[in-house]
Structure 1
Amino acid sequence: MSKLIGYSTVVLVLAALGVAIASLVFNILVFNKINEDPVVEISSTLTSIPSTAAPDDGCPDYTNPADVSDDPKWKEAADRLIANVDRSVDPCQEFYDFSCGKYIQNTDLAGQTRKSTFDETQYVINLGLADYFDSKALKDLTDVEKYQKNFLTMCYADAQTDGSDKDVRKTKWTDLSKDLNADLGFPLFGKPAVPKTTDDLFGAMGSMERKYTGGPLMTSYVTADYKNSLKHALYINQPALHFTRDYFVKPQYIDKLQGYAIDIRHLLLSYADSMGVTIDHTFCAGVDALDHKACAQQVAEWAVQMETSLAMSSWPGTELRNYKQQYTAFDDLDNLDSHFNKLNLGSYVKGLNAMAKDAKLTEFKVVLSEPNYFSALNGQFDSGHITLNDYTNYLAIHFLMDNAGEYGIDIPSADAPAVHARDSRRKNGEKKFEKYITRRGHGARKITRRPLNSKGLALTVEDEIRTGCVDTMIDYMPFGPGYTYVRNRADRDDVRKDVTTMIKNIISEFGGMLDTLDWIDKDSLAKAHKKSENLIQNYLWPDSVFGLDFNDFTTINAYHINYASFLDNAGLTTYWDALKTMKAALMKTEQWDIVTKPGDRTNFLQSPATVNAWYQPERNSITIPFGIVNPPFYSLVYPQNYNYGGLGGVCGHELTHGYDDEGTQFNEIGELAGCDFTHCSILDDDSRFGFVDMAQCVVQQFNSQCCPLKKGNVRCVNGETTQGENIADIGGQQAAYRAYHKYISDKGSAEKRLPGLESFTPDQIFWITYGGTWCMKLTDERLARQLMTDVHSPSSCRVDQVMQDIPQFGQDFLCKRGTPMYPVDDDRCKVWVGF
């Protein structure tokens, strides 16, 4: 380490829990026995909130009671919207502030950097799952549910341990140390490196990623072969860095890196103090042999510098949207190794898949997603200025970073005492090190799952612990909690039928939008229609995993065979045993057990209990988990303007991803199509130029309007970085609006008005619901970070700027032409529509 240059400077909406009377109260996911059926209902109820909205909303009073619904569930839907809407704001000027103003005013961040409707809905699902398992005896559960209850029992018990007790901390560090030293070694603390050659090192990296999910120098994932959807391939990619790449390469984030180094120093000192060991000072140049803090600081700075060098060798996400350039395939590991004389990637693949050292690659391809990164990494190894011990130490430090927090090891600073683990969990949104599983991503678009931050949502420490443990379980056993959640929803079949009809309408209307385009030729239009006609539609839960009968557990039990240790916790004596068993089972179930199997375009990818949705270009599939089919996005008993405005917009957004700059590279079965030497596309060149013009309009609009900050240190959305998501927002919400009108046309009559919101038309409620799904409060620092690093625009932009480009919004709210939300035609972008 001393040979390196020193690094010295280096989305159910609930209004905010807390102080306001108008806040929504959690009284959700109540589990009730249904007759003699062992299945119980996971449902939601809302404590009615009196309207706090100002009486003067700029809309005419509406007094015809015959046109106002008296359904109590519609009153419930209205109350949800009323709790967010600030009627003192002109919706034609700032629609986000109108639809979310009360939410923002009444939300207490409770020391966190953000809260949103997504966070709150996920919390409610997690709390319902925790309540379910806590209320059930093992004998009353299916095998897969026994796995979950036993894991949660171990997680709860671990959370009750006293982190301020030195012996407890030592025991936990010892547990991690045993596996670390057996797999890798830790020269920094006198434990010789287990790898004796670079070939051994790469084998160890693959093995540790298979067992613990982390990949500090590179990462892998299994998904459909971009060129043959009938097969899977193993993709090896540049690493998922601890911070997004910008943090390492842009000067304005120096303070973040300095704080990162301090956190690593505290980690090393805590490990050393608990284990009774000292740092080998040969890794610290010019530091007094007795100054362990200074030595730890130097090692920590070296580790951050090391990761910075990897970041500099990595490519930014904006440059990784051409999938032809990310497909370099190998079907022979020797051939793979011959391209990088120092990397031994063949050994890495064998370690990942637990293959014998002399095994040949015969059943699947290996694809390098970013060869230039591996060329740079090869040069780093070839230079010889970083030793094998250095690489071993780097991997070991990241192993501790990834696992210490999950195992409940509090990392106190040098001058602050440790605290009880139950109190430490109060900091669960402020963990020093983000766990690898939440940043590695799945599939071509590297779809990630945001971890739950329950601080400020939970009313008690115990509920923080319980919902946090459920969240960990969703991370590492995604379809277990998903199965329990879906099985206990008595309305599941009715909801699935309704959502299926909704998405059918959205797909149909999006096709009608395509037919209005004047820049797409006949053949390209036919290919575009073929994509939507052949779209795989994963609704709410995967039949292939859950089976077709929720009273037959054969399929779900077989799917989770790798988790069988949790049936009676066989061999699991510590929570660390439980965690690492979960991690290894996840990797085997979702990666290594499928890599040699035929391609499956219906792969659900993540848990049905997740509040999210996604599109997979390499499968041409849209996935709508049951988790997001809840308020504020949807309810089976709410009016359809609410459902189409909320969930319909989500579905339209994901559908439109099939037609963004990434999605158009793949055809109707998820294979790269129309490839020439520079790119792939379902569009011919002239049509592609028309697409680029459309996209560039969106890029320029977002760049020029400087959303959302307009004062102080002005920061704006990066239109280039966020174009894919912005296009999906605009195109998707237009498709949803048209689909809602198709529903009304098929129904033959307009919907009634909402009680308490009588002055708003059904169409206006559609838009208000959309705006409400994006309610979010966050600190200026968190907002600035999102603007610099996220492919998604901030919520206010995802509402206000989307409304600008959909003229039906301005017409429905009777806005004057030229107002911000209803600009003249020359000032709006026509996204996947010709007029």
Structure 2
Amino acid sequence: MTSKVAKKLLTDKTPLISRLRFQGENNMGKTGLLVLILTVCVALLGVTVTNLVFTLIDRDNKSSEEDTTPKSNRPVSNQPVSNSSGFKEAGEQLLRGIDLSVDPCEDFYAFTCNKYLDNVKIPEGSTRIGTYDEAQVVVDTQIVEFLDQDDNDTLSDTEKVVKKVYKACVENSDGKSEDRSKFLNDKLKEQINGVPLLTENWQQKSSLLEVAAKWIKDFEIDTVIGFDVTADFKNVKKNALYLSAPSFVLPLDYYIKSTFLNKLDSHRTRIEELFQKFANSIDVKVDKEKLKKDVNELVSLEIKLAMNVVPNNLLVNSNIQYNKYNFTSFQKDYEQLKEFITNIVYDDVKREDLAIIVTQPRYFESLNTLLNQVEHRVVYNYLGYRYLLNFKDFIGGEEQVLIKAITQFSTSRKHKVSDDDKVGCVGTIKDWMPYGPGFIYVNGLGNDMRQQVVDDIKLQTKLVIEQFLKNVDSIEWMKASRKSVQAKAEELKSHVNIGYPKFFEKAFDGDYKELDQYHTQYINSILDDKVESYFDILIALGKAHQKTEKLGIWGKDVDRANFLDSPATVNAWYAPELNSITVPFAILNPPYYKLDYPQAYKYGGQGGTLGHELTHGFDSSGVQFGPDGSLSGNCNLEYCTWLNSDSIDGFLNMAQCVISQYNEQCCPLDTGNVHCANGENTQGENIADIGGQLAAYNAYRAWVDTVNDGKEEQQLPGLDGFTSNQVFWITYAFSWCMKQEQDNLVNQILTNEHAPGKCRVNQVMQDIPQFANDFGCKPKQALFPPEGKRCKVWTGV
């Protein structure tokens, strides 16, 4: 269900046409998970404990004059303190991070997050923890509680499938590593006659491209060719197949830049150790020198494949990536891929109706040459290596430790659970059957609560879009393109997917026909009594996912209301080829939102999320796509856009300001080979952060003036003196609090379109002067730079 070009609010890690997404980041060990769940549960306890927490926090804050004296001349609220439970809980959330010893005008991230960063612990088996990670664990834990119940009598078939997969997933973690290693080796023999370096007198069984197609259809393993299915950029009513470079286990820079030779050497050593230990588990003796040679050749192939990939910063122009073929013309122009394309399509599909779009022609030209030069033995060793990584939960012990080390920077989807982690099992199911756990989660919220939240978000969306358009009206260089902006924004209003897909509604009342009909492929295969083992269930799950969400929709009509992910995912996204925003119900939780929290909190968190996704429609990618999602306007080698020439110049100047600012100022690391964010790679997300948060702020002020009759909201308990405007900014910053190990931070800077959390706070604040005004910052303080040193993002003032 994942659009190749969907722009997510949070860091994400699934392969896309022109970038890499990060998904399934909560890969936590059991111990770390328990620590995290306990931490979150404490934060969410009832009123009695909440009052005690506030008392202790307040007492702690008042115990030291040095800690409590504000370091800025911020304005102080004269509104009364609210005693409502929602305001109390909102205050408790923010007090988890605030450090009053820091001047917010110098480092707002430290001011908002220091206490959180000091107290939170990165769970065992993970490399990071942030406030939105905690939110995902809360949501997944609620799903676990449902799945652990015994009653199956009144469930939909969809829920029964989820329960069966969950039960098998949890039980799988209790197996013996050695036995499952032998089982997995048997499966490899079935697939490719085994891995050559582990198989005496190995003989090739099937052609490489036949295997590559089969593994995509059956397992979604993209070994040498990457793929996705989404709307045809120039015929947006139909879905097309996009062929691209595959995902890689390491960031591309690790393969091609000499500064990362040590990382590559460690990678090579771990693969060698993995095969040695796997060989021991399956009672196969391997010659160490021969193994070393085989692994060196394997990694050499991996490097050569990576070196032929076009870097993300050269893939800004979507029109250059659009190289369209029909089924016949593709086979003519890419004769070497004929075996791949004929094996990846389903037999019951009319092939003449299928569109194929090649996003990186250079990669495929090089791939053909490379595969003709490399011995088949080397290629199949590489396939075996990728297979083991994909099915890592079917081996254990020391091999598991090595695989975790090998895949710690992986850009491929993480769809498996480890360490008997029930929450991880829910994450696995969400990856392969997004609407199943999504329905379970949303159904548990109750009809009245759901509708109130949806109505609240609809009003918020309306105000954010209105204020964004007002901001655009203030831009001189956008005069000639304002009608185009308005047309796109107006069309977008009717394609904001809030909470859950519409076909859930009947199922909420017990009519499961539409819900189960959507999941027919899953129900028919997984509820079959013959499908019992977790491995067989997982294979059936993957095939059903392909037929329901991926290859099965190739050539079919586009559904602009498709959520593209699970309603139980704490994230939000904009899809330019659909011109749609999706706000899953799971993100409507702290740290972003809760129905009874103050509007300042909700607009600072969820309002900023809406503004962020809206602004993606007008970032360096969004300005290439029109109201219906199609590539629009004039296309040339520099840009494809509906902006006129004057507006293009103004937009490029605005984008360059943001690029330069992040290149020079977003530098969270002072050791190692990587120090600063790549402003070019992160420009789209940075533009969305700045422009979106400004629109959200103005929307909040519009809510105060119109809906609340100009009355300021009451204060939050524990945050005495803080104005509602200040709460707005604090909420935004708190949502980006994250503790990261250095390798995780380096990997984010190298591979992710999102800048680190500190930059997403401080850089944004310095470009929005309303922040400085609300906190009483003095001119030339870090977050109140001179007019000429801030970037005006989608505003003329």
In the superposition, the TM-score normalised over structure 2's length comes to 0.88
> Is 154-163 or 558-567 further displaced after alignment?
558-567
1:640 lines up with 2:640 in the alignment: no
1:718 to 678, 681, 691: 678
2:497 aligns to what SS in structure 1?
strand
Q: Which residue number corresponds to residue 9 of structure 2?
A: none
For residues 35 and 521 of structure 2, what CA distance do their matches in structure 1 show? 45
Q: Which residue number corresponds to residue 349 of structure 1?
A: 341
The answer to whether the Cα contact below 8 Å between 1:656 and 1:731 also exists between their aligned partners in 2 is yes
Measured at CA, do residues 826 and 61 of structure 1 come closer, stay the same or move farther in structure 2, by a change above 3 Å?
A: closer
Higher normalized contact order (CA 8 Å, seq sep 6+, divided by chain length):
2
1:728 lines up with 2:688 in the alignment: yes
1:101 aligns to what SS in structure 2?
helix
Q: CA deviation at 1:203?
A: 2.3
- Counterpart mapping for 1:250-649 below 5 A: 250-278=257-285, 292-333=287-328, 335-341=329-335, 343-344=336-337, 346-355=338-347, 361-381=351-371, 384-403=372-391, 405-407=392-394, 409-410=395-396, 412=398, 430=404, 432-433=406-407, 439=412, 465-490=421-446, 491-522=449-480, 524-535=481-492, 536-544=495-503, 549-564=508-523, 568=527, 570-649=529-608
User: What is the one-letter code of the residue matched to 1:469?
Assistant: C
The answer to whether the Cα contact below 8 Å between 2:74 and 2:775 also exists between their aligned partners in 1 is no
For residues 469 and 331 of structure 1, what CA distance do their matches in structure 2 show? 39
Q: CA deviation at 1:392?
A: 2.8
1:543 aligns to what SS in structure 2?
coil
Q: Which residue number corresponds to residue 210 of structure 2?
A: 203
For residues 402 and 135 of structure 2, what CA distance do their matches in structure 1 show? 18
2:175 aligns to what SS in structure 1?
coil
Q: CA deviation at 1:207?
A: 1.4
Give every structure 1 segment of 4 or more consecutive aligned residues whose post-TM-superposition deviation is greater than 6 Å.
Answer: 16-22, 59-66, 450-454, 711-714
Q: CA deviation at 1:432?
A: 3.3
Q: Which residue number corresponds to residue 127 of structure 1?
A: 141
The answer to whether the Cα contact below 8 Å between 1:205 and 1:215 also exists between their aligned partners in 2 is yes
For residues 265 and 514 of structure 1, what CA distance do their matches in structure 2 show? 56
For residues 793 and 235 of structure 2, what CA distance do their matches in structure 1 show? 31
Q: Which residue number corresponds to residue 13 of structure 2?
A: none
User: What is the one-letter code of the residue matched to 1:206?
Assistant: A
- Counterpart mapping for 1:815-834 below 5 A: 815-834=777-796
Q: CA deviation at 1:179?
A: 3.5
Q: CA deviation at 1:351?
A: 1.9
- Cα distance per residue 1:554-609 (max 9 Å; x no partner): 11101111112576452223211121111111111101321132122222100110
For residues 704 and 614 of structure 1, what CA distance do their matches in structure 2 show? 28
For residues 355 and 716 of structure 2, what CA distance do their matches in structure 1 show? 56
Q: CA deviation at 1:61?
A: 11
The answer to whether the Cα contact below 8 Å between 1:104 and 1:775 also exists between their aligned partners in 2 is yes
The answer to whether the Cα contact below 8 Å between 2:217 and 2:344 also exists between their aligned partners in 1 is yes
More helix by proportion, 1 or 2? Answer: 2
Measured at CA, do residues 719 and 238 of structure 1 come closer, stay the same or move farther in structure 2, by a change above 3 Å?
A: same
1:91 aligns to what SS in structure 2?
coil
Q: CA deviation at 1:305?
A: 1.2
For residues 319 and 770 of structure 2, what CA distance do their matches in structure 1 show? 38
For residues 537 and 108 of structure 2, what CA distance do their matches in structure 1 show? 48
Measured at CA, do residues 451 and 393 of structure 1 come closer, stay the same or move farther in structure 2, by a change above 3 Å?
A: closer
2:744 to 769, 782, 792: 782
- Cα distance per residue 1:86-145 (max 9 Å; x no partner): 011000110000000100111122454211112111111111111111023222422111
User: What is the one-letter code of the residue matched to 2:390?
Assistant: D
RMSD of Structure 2 on Structure 1 (CA)? 3.0
Q: Which residue number corresponds to residue 735 of structure 2?
A: 773
- Cα distance per residue 1:319-338 (max 9 Å; x no partner): 112110011111133x3233
- Counterpart mapping for 1:129-168 below 5 A: 129-163=143-177
The answer to whether the Cα contact below 8 Å between 1:184 and 1:194 also exists between their aligned partners in 2 is yes
Measured at CA, do residues 18 and 59 of structure 1 come closer, stay the same or move farther in structure 2, by a change above 3 Å?
A: farther
Q: Which residue number corresponds to residue 420 of structure 1?
A: none
Q: CA deviation at 1:295?
A: 2.2
- Cα distance per residue 1:451-489 (max 9 Å; x no partner): 7999xxxxxx7xx61111111111111110001001111
2:465 aligns to what SS in structure 1?
helix
Measured at CA, do residues 195 and 586 of structure 1 come closer, stay the same or move farther in structure 2, by a change above 3 Å?
A: same
The answer to whether the Cα contact below 8 Å between 1:185 and 1:392 also exists between their aligned partners in 2 is no
- Cα distance per residue 1:660-719 (max 9 Å; x no partner): 111100000000001333231010122111100001111111122243235787711221
Measured at CA, do residues 486 and 300 of structure 1 come closer, stay the same or move farther in structure 2, by a change above 3 Å?
A: same
For residues 542 and 251 of structure 2, what CA distance do their matches in structure 1 show? 23
- Counterpart mapping for 1:786-805 below 5 A: 786-805=748-767
For residues 711 and 194 of structure 1, what CA distance do their matches in structure 2 show? 47
User: What is the one-letter code of the residue matched to 2:144?
Assistant: A
Gaps of 5+ in 2: 1-24, 27-31, 62-66
2:82 to 53, 62, 69: 69
Measured at CA, do residues 439 and 257 of structure 1 come closer, stay the same or move farther in structure 2, by a change above 3 Å?
A: same
Measured at CA, do residues 739 and 277 of structure 1 come closer, stay the same or move farther in structure 2, by a change above 3 Å?
A: same
Paired residues in the alignment total 748
Measured at CA, do residues 132 and 234 of structure 1 come closer, stay the same or move farther in structure 2, by a change above 3 Å?
A: same
User: What is the one-letter code of the residue matched to 1:339?
Assistant: D
1:216 lines up with 2:223 in the alignment: yes
The answer to whether the Cα contact below 8 Å between 2:409 and 2:747 also exists between their aligned partners in 1 is no
- Cα distance per residue 1:210-256 (max 9 Å; x no partner): 10010110111110010011111011111111112111111222222
> Is 223-232 or 300-309 further displaced after alignment?
300-309
The answer to whether the Cα contact below 8 Å between 1:614 and 1:624 also exists between their aligned partners in 2 is yes
User: What is the one-letter code of the residue matched to 2:483?
Assistant: A
For residues 516 and 63 of structure 1, what CA distance do their matches in structure 2 show? 30
Q: CA deviation at 1:182?
A: 2.7
> Is 625-634 or 677-686 further displaced after alignment?
677-686
Measured at CA, do residues 560 and 402 of structure 1 come closer, stay the same or move farther in structure 2, by a change above 3 Å?
A: same
Q: Which residue number corresponds to residue 34 of structure 1?
A: none
- Cα distance per residue 1:498-554 (max 9 Å; x no partner): 1111111111111111101111242x2111111111012111111146657542111
Q: CA deviation at 1:428?
A: 11
- Counterpart mapping for 1:634-673 below 5 A: 634-673=593-632
1:182 lines up with 2:190 in the alignment: yes
Q: Which residue number corresponds to residue 105 of structure 2?
A: 92
Gaps of 5+ in 1: 1-10, 31-42, 164-168, 280-291, 414-423, 441-449, 455-460
For residues 673 and 69 of structure 2, what CA distance do their matches in structure 1 show? 35
The answer to whether the Cα contact below 8 Å between 2:250 and 2:407 also exists between their aligned partners in 1 is no
For residues 226 and 157 of structure 2, what CA distance do their matches in structure 1 show? 32
